[in-house]
Structure 1
């Protein structure tokens, strides 16, 4: 027989258990998602081109996710960034396709593809309105990499120890530059040199390099190259460096949708930061900078370089259907800008 006392006792235990199940659900511990992202940029440059966006992401994501930022060559050499990300050794990358040696059909267009852009705003318009996003997404998805977004950096200019006032002055100059830019400019006598990013300043000082064609004047001042070069050539190879954020596809797919969105938004803020930081910096340092003298190759002579670029485009387009598709987009875009006139194009 069940006594009144034992009934009350058992009922009480059941009641406590029921109350616990409703009032205090079990809490499952969830560890913070951690990504390691390596940028192409050295420490001084990373302070502007990536760190503000990473700081913002980490502040908002808090204990849900944190991104650890590593600067140029910190974990792997820049030329091995793609493979390391593809394998999952690192989770994400900020670089241009060319520098990280992506094995894709679009790699040649990363960094400074000669005269593909006139201004920095050309790059996001080409990706977001002229179809480059879809091409990049397709190319990288095949290889297990997520192309998150592309943006613009600074224009490409020569910073040199000796003055450049004509195409003749470029002949024999040993210059640190991007693979495709070097391939293009070699027809004018430039000797492209590949070195680790952090060795460039010393290489100019020791005479191993005669100059640098890796950036605009803002970076020359920011990273210390303006301290070892004497002249800045105002003619540029391209109006803006095109670079992107990438991630290992498996790591990207593991993220919940709200964190994917946060990654996109904060990385877009990095693209926006660079738009005004470079645009204002390039003009200000040309006007107010004291470390380098400005030189210019006359327009009539520099026109030879611009005409050579159209031939170079056709050579690249002949290499594959995908490359032809990208070159056709460049041609259509630049034709549209030319027809649009001022302020899109002035000549």
Structure 2
């Protein structure tokens, strides 16, 4: 495997030249306008990072490549981001893979299964040193998609309308929990429902669902879900979530090499910005929610902790059997964990 550090260093050198040369006559080159479909509605905190990514690409390309950010509900729904990118309706996408499990099962493993690694540096290393980037590049290519970079978010937590005094309480509850999170909660007797982020608030308010997961604390705050659901379960379903930046393969191949490099580096910078903002925003979001009346459900018993962990890990074999891509990612992850003795 080629050294990622060497590749990263040369990319930095190249982009330094681009930035220093930004006043040169780039207008002589061909210009491009891309649209990027995202998973969040306008006004949600993480949308700022998408906008910054687009602005960075514009600056680094000297205006040769402009990206219009399309937020959920403004032409492409969150549930359509993967297919819109695959078909070329948009040139770039930032999908939430749990909403596209039927189209790309391996994406759910990529997102992060319950019981997987939670440390940010370990996750980044799995992608960039452990072999996931190479595997994902091949997996996404089969869908006419170019895989660009991973953006990793904090742990996801279950927010409910009633306190969870024991896991017996959630049996038969209707909970927004897409993909493996839903399967984990189903193992505990709940009734999982898949729905887009923008549908959650109304569904909580009208009693369609009794709680929501697939969201980190920042998402719960930004979506104002805490106004309808006041109880936060202390154990995370997933220790982290990694979501990709992707491109339609045909559109990607039309770009000159320097613009491809600019998008790739801007996406990597976006990944770091996403993580740093997550650290700051998560603490702030939890305080704001608590100040608004959110309470922690009681500390789970040892029995419930064991049930919770078992319900999550029991999802792994099922996803390994989904397709060859899923099996490959899980095998690489297990080998990586053993190699680093994690």
Shorter-chain TM-score bucket reads 0.7 to 0.9
Contact 1:48 1:274 in 2 (8 A): no
Alignment of 1:174-323 (within 5 A): 174-286=174-286, 289-291=290-292, 292-295=294-297, 296-323=299-326
| Aligned residue number for residue 34 of structure 2 | 35
Cα gap change, 1:101/1:309 in structure 2, threshold over 3 Å: closer, same or farther? Answer: closer
> Matched residues in 2 for 1:215 and 1:191: separation?
17
**Consecutive unaligned residues in structure 2, runs of 5 or more:** 1-25
The DSSP-based 3-state class of the residue aligned with 2:204 is helix
1:39-80 superposed Cα distances (whole Å, 9 cap, x missing partner):
011112243342222222223334311000011132223222
8 Å contact kept, 1:114–1:181: yes
User: Alpha carbon RMSD of aligned pairs, Å?
Assistant: 2.4
- How far apart, CA to CA, are the structure 2 residues paired with 1:219 and 1:29? 43
TM-score scaled to structure 2, two decimals? 0.83
Are the structure 2 counterparts of residues 62 and 229 from structure 1 closer, same or farther at C-alpha, using a change threshold of 3 Å? farther
Contact 2:79–2:196 (Cα < 8 Å) also in 1: no
- Identify the match of residue 324 of structure 1 among 324, 327, 340: 327
Shift of 1:162: 0.9
Q: Which moved more, 1:288-297 or 1:213-222?
A: 288-297
Distance 1:276 1:239 in 2: 16
Deviations 1:169-223 (A, max 9, x none): 2212211122221122211122112334322111111111111102121221122
Correspondence for 1:13: none
The number of residue pairs the alignment matches comes to 313
Secondary structure of residue in 1 paired with 2:151: strand
Alpha carbons 1:121, 1:152 under 8 Å: kept: no
Distance 1:332 1:280 in 2: 32
Q: What SS does structure 1 have at the residue aligned with 2:93?
A: strand
Q: 1:287 to 1:200 in 2, by over 3 A?
A: closer
Q: Say whether residues 1:98 and 2:101 are aligned partners.
A: no
Query: Structure 1 residues 38, 224: closer, same or farther in 2, change over 3 A?
Result: same
CA contact (8 A) 2:156 2:214 kept: yes
Are the structure 2 counterparts of residues 44 and 165 from structure 1 closer, same or farther at C-alpha, using a change threshold of 3 Å? farther
Structure 1 residues 269 and 113, CA, compared in 2 at 3 Å: closer, same or farther?
A: same
Gaps of 5+ in 1: 1-26, 341-347
Structure showing greater Rg: 1
Report matched runs for 1:138-153 at 5 Å.
Answer: 138-153=138-153
Relative distance call for 1:172 and 1:31 in structure 2 (3 A) is same
For normalisation by structure 1, the TM-score amounts to 0.82
Q: Partners in 1 of 2:279 and 2:303 — Cα distance?
A: 26
Distance in 1, Cα, partners of 2:240 & 2:88? 30
